[in-house]
Structure 1
Amino acid sequence: MRTACFVDGYNLFYGLLAGTPYKCSLLAHIIRVEHPDSTLSDVNFFTSGVKPSLASRGIASKEAQDTYLRALIARGVNVFYGRHQLESGKAPRFVDKNTPASRDDQVEIWKLEEKETDVHIAISMYRLAARESSLRPEERTQQIVLVSADTDMTPAMRALREDFPDLHLGVILPHREGIQRTAPGSLKQHANWMRHAVTEVELAAHQFPPRIPTRKKPADKPAYW
C-alpha cells in the first residue's frame, strides 16, 4: 500500500521528542506495524524556524533545528516552512488552579503563534489525493498518514474521507508511552486506524546515525537536542 506521511513538526517535537535524546526516522516502521503491506513513498514535514530570542537555549536551539532539518532533507524528506508571529495582547492572570480565569483580571503578554502550518498540511493532503484521482488505482497513493494530534486537522480528514472513499487514512499521535492523554476522537472518527503512542523501544531502534552526509557539510548530531 503506497503511503504518504504528513508530519506536523512542532506537534511531533513537543508531543514526543522534546526532553529526549531521540530525533528519529521511524514512520516506515509504524505504518508497517499498523498495515503490513504499507510502503513509505513520501514524507512531508511541516515546521517553522525557531526564534533564537525566544528559544530556551537561544541560538543553540536554532542550530539544532537547522541540523535536524538538513538531516531530514538529506534522507529525502520534503520540508515545508511556515512562520512564527509574535504579537502583544492580554490574557487572564493565573492565580492558582482553583481560581477561575476572569476577563476582569488580565495582564499584558507576548503571544507567539505558528502560522500557516495547519492549513498547509490540510491543503497538501487534499491536493495529493485530488491530483492523483485521475491515475490508475495502482499508480495512486493508496494511504495518507497524518502525524499530529491537532484536532484542527479534523475538517481535512473529513473531506478526504468523504471525497476519496477508497483512500486509506491513518493517524499517528506523537505521544510517548506511559503518558496518559485523551485520544482526539474527532480525528479517530475519520481514520481507518490510529496509533496512540510510540514506545521507547521504537524510538531507540530508529535513530539517525551521528553523522549524515549532505550535499554540503555533513549534518552532525549536536550535543544539545
Structure 2
Amino acid sequence: MRVACYVDGFNLYHAVDALGDARLKWLNLRSLAESYLAPDDVLVRTVFFTAFNTWEHAKRQRHVNYVKALGATGVEVVLSRFDKVHKHCFTHERFCKLREEKQTDVAIAIEVMSDCYERGIERVLLITADSDQVPMVRRIRDRFPETIIFMIAPPKRLNAARELGQACSGVAELTAGRLRQHALPDELRDGRGHLIAARPAIYGPHGN
C-alpha cells in the first residue's frame, strides 16, 4: 500500500511535554511512521505541521533546529503561524491577549485530501487527537471507501480523541516506550559531513 503520515506538531508536542521527559522531544518522525508499516507498504511521505513562535528566542531556536533535523531524514515541513487573539484567561480570570496557532488544521486537511486524490494514498497515518479533522476523515472515507485512515493519538490523548477515533478506520496511542525507540541521532550531517542539526543539551539524559 501507498502510505503517508501526517503529524499535527503542537498536538503531539504538548502531549509529549506532559510526560516530563525532554529526551522524547528529539523524535524521529520518519522512523516512527515506518514502524507502523506492513511488509508490502511504501511510505510515500511524512509531513510535519507546525509554526515558529516569535516571542521566546531559545524555544524558537530549538524548534528551528528540530525542523532542520527532520528535514535531514526526509520529513516535509508545512509551516503555519501564530496570531494574537483576545480570549478569556482562566489564570487571570479576565480577557487577555493570547497567541494562538492558526491554519494548521486546514493545512492538514488539504494535504491529506490532496494526497488521496492526486498521489493515490491508500493508507493515512494521522498523528493527532484533534476532532477538527473529523469532517475531513468522513469526506475521504465517503469518497474513497477503500482508503484506510489510521489515527495515532499522542500519549495519553486517546480518550480525548474518541470522536476522531470513531470516524477513522483504526486507532492506536503512542507511548513513552515507543517514542524512546525512535529518537533522532545526536547529530545529523549532510553527505559532505557538514552538521545540519544536533540534539540540544536540554534534550539529553541530564536535560530538564
Same fold (TM > 0.5):
yes
Letter of the structure 2 residue corresponding to residue 47 of structure 1: T
Letter of the structure 1 residue corresponding to residue 199 of structure 2: K
Task: Output the aligned Cα RMSD.
Answer: 2.2
Q: Corresponding residue for 2:4?
A: 4
For 1:44-55, what aligned pairs fall within 5 Å after superposition? 44-51=47-54, 53=55
Q: Corresponding residue for 1:99?
A: none
Shift of 1:142: 1.4
Partners in 2 of 1:200 and 1:92 — Cα distance? 31
For 1:18-167, what aligned pairs fall within 5 Å after superposition? 19-20=20-21, 21-22=23-24, 23-25=26-28, 26-29=32-35, 31-32=36-37, 35=38, 37-51=40-54, 53=55, 58-87=56-85, 89-91=86-88, 107-132=94-119, 140-167=120-147
Call closer, same or farther: CA 1:40–1:117 in 2, change over 3 Å.
same
Is 2:2–2:121's contact at 8 Å kept on the other side of the alignment?
yes
Is 1:142–1:168's contact at 8 Å kept on the other side of the alignment?
yes
Structure 2 unaligned blocks of 5 or more = 204-208
Call closer, same or farther: CA 1:77–1:110 in 2, change over 3 Å.
same
TM-score of the two chains, using structure 2 as the length reference: 0.84
Q: Corresponding residue for 2:161?
A: 184
TM-score of the two chains, using structure 1 as the length reference: 0.78
Q: Corresponding residue for 1:135?
A: none
Q: Corresponding residue for 1:136?
A: none
Partners in 1 of 2:113 and 2:61 — Cα distance? 33
Letter of the structure 2 residue corresponding to residue 91 of structure 1: H
Of stretches 35-44 and 7-16 in structure 1, the one that deviates more from structure 2 is: 35-44
Q: Corresponding residue for 2:149?
A: 169
Partners in 1 of 2:39 and 2:160 — Cα distance? 23
Letter of the structure 2 residue corresponding to residue 24 of structure 1: L
Letter of the structure 1 residue corresponding to residue 10 of structure 2: Y
Call closer, same or farther: CA 1:9–1:180 in 2, change over 3 Å.
closer
Structure 1 unaligned blocks of 5 or more = 96-105, 133-139
Call closer, same or farther: CA 1:117–1:107 in 2, change over 3 Å.
same
Letter of the structure 2 residue corresponding to residue 117 of structure 1: T
Partners in 1 of 2:178 and 2:140 — Cα distance? 29
Shift of 1:50: 2.0
Task: Indicate the structure (1 or 2) with the bigger Cα radius of gyration.
Answer: 1
Is 2:129–2:157's contact at 8 Å kept on the other side of the alignment?
no
Shift of 1:166: 1.3
Question: Deviation digits for residues 24-63 of structure 1, max 9, x if unmatched?
Answer: 121211x13xx55433221011100023x2xxxx321111
Size of the alignment, in residue pairs?
Answer: 195
Residue 213 of structure 1 pairs with residue 189 of structure 2:
yes
Aligned sequence identity (%): 30
Partners in 1 of 2:129 and 2:61 — Cα distance? 26
Partners in 2 of 1:149 and 1:180 — Cα distance? 6
Call closer, same or farther: CA 1:93–1:213 in 2, change over 3 Å.
closer
Q: Corresponding residue for 2:201?
A: 223
Where has structure 1 moved over 3 Å in runs of 4 or more?
Answer: 35-39, 92-95, 214-217
